[in-house]
A and B are shown apart, each in its own frame.
Chain A
Amino acid sequence: MSRKLSLGMAVNEALRIAMETDPDVILMGEDVAGGGDRKGDDVDEMGGVLGTTRGLVKAFPDRVLDTPISEMGILGTAVGAAATGLRPVVELMFIDFLGTCLDPLLNQAAKLRYMFGGNARVPLTVRTVTGAGMQAAAQHSQSLYWITAGIPGLKTVIPSNPADAKGLLLSAIRDDNPVVFCEAKLVLGVSGEVPEGDYEVPIGKAKLVRGGNDVSLIGFGGTLPICLQAAEQLASDGIEADVLDLRSLQPLDEDAILATLTRTGRVVIVDESTPRSSVASDVAALCVDRGFDSLDAPVKRVMAPHSPVPFSRVLEQAFLPSAARVVEAVRSQV
C-alpha cells in the first residue's frame, strides 16, 4: 500500500519508524521539538523551521531534543554521542550553516574510525536542506553537498522523491557511518507515492528512472525533475534519453554511470551546485577516464554559474539549471 506524501512528510515518517524500531535513535537540532515539549500549557510545536519533525516530540519526549542555536556544539555533541552508543539524527537547518560547524564533520565524525585504527563507529545522520528555489538568497540556498561528498569517511545522499527519501533516510540512520542526508528545496514540497511501513533504499545505488538509447541525463535531488522534463521535450523531437538518478553522491554508483554511458554514448550531468570541484565534474572525469571509448560526444555539465545564489526571482531562476539548458546541451552533442 502507498499514499501520496510530500518529501518532507516522508522524512517525518522515516524518523518516526527509526525511533520506534531503535531506542538509541535520538533527534537533535534547532527547533526540532520547537516548543512542543513544554509542559502544562496548551501549545503546539513548530517541528523545525519547515515543520518536518512535527509531532515527533509528542511521541518521543525524551529523545527529541531542542538545542540552542549552536551548530558546532550540536554536531560535536552528536558525534560524541554516536561514538559512545547512540544513533543521533541531527538537523542542520540549512547546509549553508556548515560554515559554523564543519570541524565536527570534517575532523571528527569523518576521521575517528580511521584515526583509531578501525576501533570506532560513528552512526550519525545529518539531515540538512540544500539548494536554491525559495528565494532564500546567498546564505540559505547553496548546494554544498560537494564538500561533504569529498570528505573521506562521510557518506552523502540526496533523494529526488518522497519514496526514496523515506527509504534512504532509514538506511542512513541504520548505517554505522556518518551520513549527510540532503533535502533539496526544489523537491522538498513535491508529493509522490510513498510505500507504507518499514523499508530501506540502499546507499550507493543509482536508479535508472527512464530508459532511452540516445543520451544519458544524470541528475539527483532537485535536478531530477529537470532531467525528466528535458527528456519529455527531447522525446517529442525523437531523442530518447536515459535518466539516471544518482541518489547517493558518496559512495558514487560508478557502474550505473558507466552502464548508461555505454548504452547512449552521450552524457549530460545536471547539478545545482557551482561548477568547481563539483559532483558533476567528478562524474564527467569518471566518464572520460573509464568510459572514453564509449563516448560519441563531449561530456556536458548543466550547472549553476560560479557565483553566489542571487535573491531576485528572475536571477535565481537564471542561476538554476533548467530543462531548456539541458535540451540545449543535448542538442550540442547530436
Chain B
Amino acid sequence: MDLTRAELLEAYRKLRRIRSFEDKLGELVVAGKMGGFMHLYAGEEAVAVGVCTQLGDKDTVTSTHRGHGHCIAKGVEIAGMMAELFGRATGVCKGKGGSMHIADIERGMLGANGIVGAGIPLATGAALTARIKRTGGVAVAFFGDGATNQGAFHESLNMAANWKLPALYVIENNGFGEFTPTEFVVPVKDIAVRADSYAMKSLIADGMDFFDVYAKAAEALAYCRSGRGPVLLECKTYRFAGHFVGDTLVYRDKEEAEDWIQNRDPLQNFETQVLEASLVEAEALRRIDLEVQEEIAAAVESAEAAPWPDVAETETDVYVEDGG
C-alpha cells in the first residue's frame, strides 16, 4: 500500500465523516426533524472511500438512493448536504433534490438516483463524453446488487465493453435488494461473473476492508485509464441500518447482522490495520473523530437556521431559460 500517513488520515476522516453523518441523519429522522425517504450508507463506507480517494476533478461518479456516502467521498461539502436534507434554500440543490437526488456536478457527482439502476447508463454516458472529448477522465457508477437485475445494467455493460469506454462499474453487494436476500433473486454467487457475458474484466473486493477496495479499485482504474475498457468491481458489503430509516429489520438474521456489525465494521477494520502496522497513532484518529463530530454538529446548526426556499422556486430550474 503506497498511501502516505496524511492520505491515510484523510481516508479515515472520510470514513468517519460518512458514518457520523449517517448516524446523525438517523437520529434526526427518528426525532421527526427531517422528512423524506432516507437510505443510510453506514457499513458500506469502505467502498465509496476506497474508490473515490483515487478519483480527480475530471472523474465523475453516479450514485444510488443510498447516495450520501458517494457525495462525501467525492468531496461534496457537508454543510450544503445537510441543508439540502433539511430542504433549505442553502442546500446543495436548493432544497429541490433531497436525499435521493443529492448531487454536485461541479465536483463530478452526477447525483444520487431514486430509480434503481438508472445511474449506470448515466455513468456510461459520462465515460462516452470522456472518450469523445479526450478528457482523460473515468466515470464510476456505484450501484447495488439489486440494480444488476435491471436491463439498464446489462445494456450499459454491453455498450461500454463494446466501445471500450473508461467506465468503472462498482457493485455494492450488501446482500439485500430492499428486503429480499440477494440469493433469492440472483442465481450466481458472485455477481461479478456477469461481466464475462460482455468480455469485461471483473474483480471482487472485500467491501468491508478499505485497503482491499483501494487495491482492487487501483487496478481497475489503471485498466480503465489505459484505454483497455471498462471494469466490473464487486464489493461484498453490508448495510448496517437496513433499507431505510424505520426499517424494522424483521427479515434479517440477527446473528448474521451482529457478526457483520461487530466483527467487520469498515472503520474498526481500518483502525486495527493502521494501528497494527504503526502507520498512524490512535490519538490522531480520535482527534479526527472529534473534529468530524463538531463539523457535523455545526452543519446541523447552520442548516436548521437556514432559510426555507421561496415558494416561487417551485417553478424555477425546470428549463434552461437561456437555452434556446
A interface residues with partner B (beta carbon < 8 Å): 24, 26, 62-63, 65, 67-68, 70, 72-86, 88, 103-104, 107-108, 111-121, 123, 152-153, 155, 171, 174-177, 202-204
Contact = CB atoms under 8 A, between A and B. Distances in A.
Interface residues of B, number: 50
A82 B60 CA distance: 13
Contacts of A111: 101
A84 B125 contact: yes
B133 interface: yes
B94 interface: yes
24 contacts: A26-B132, A68-B155, A72-B151, A72-B155, A77-B121, A77-B156, A77-B159, A78-B125, A80-B110, A80-B121, A80-B128, A81-B132, A84-B125, A85-B133, A86-B128, A86-B132, A88-B125, A108-B118, A113-B318, A115-B93, A116-B97, A117-B91, A117-B97, A175-B324
A55 B124 CA distance: 27
List 7 tightest A-B contacts by C-beta distance, closest first: A80-B125, A76-B121, A73-B155, A176-B323, A117-B94, A80-B122, A117-B93
B319 interface: yes
Contacts of A73: 121, 124, 151-152, 155-156, 158-159
Contacts of A62: 132
A116 B103 contact: yes
Given A73-B155, A88-B125, 17 more contacts: A24-B133, A73-B124, A74-B155, A74-B159, A75-B121, A76-B122, A77-B159, A81-B129, A83-B105, A104-B118, A112-B111, A116-B103, A117-B94, A152-B318, A155-B319, A177-B320, A204-B324
B159 A80 contact: no
Given A107-B115, A117-B96, A63 B132 contact: yes
Contacts of A24: 133
B266 interface: no
Contacts of A113: 317-320
B82 interface: no
A86 B158 CA distance: 21
Contacts of A68: 155, 158-159, 162
Nearest to B163: A65
A84 B94 contact: no
Nearest to A200: B324
Contacts of B60: 84
Interface in B127-167: 127-130, 132-133, 139, 151-152, 155-156, 158-159, 162-163
Contact of A203 (B158, B320, B324): B324
Q: Select the residue from B120, B152, B155 with max chain A CB neighbours within 10 A.
A: B155
A151 to B, nearest CB: 10
Contact of B158 (A70, A121, A123): A70
B126 interface: yes
B111 A115 contact: yes
A328 B202 CA distance: 66
A112 to B, nearest CB: 7
B105 A116 contact: yes
Given A62-B132, A77-B124, A108-B118, A115 B96 contact: yes
Contact of B152 (A76, A174, A202): A76
A88 to B, nearest CB: 8
A77 B128 contact: yes
Contacts of B156: 73, 76-77
Contact of A85 (B92, B97, B129): B129
A119 B106 CA distance: 8
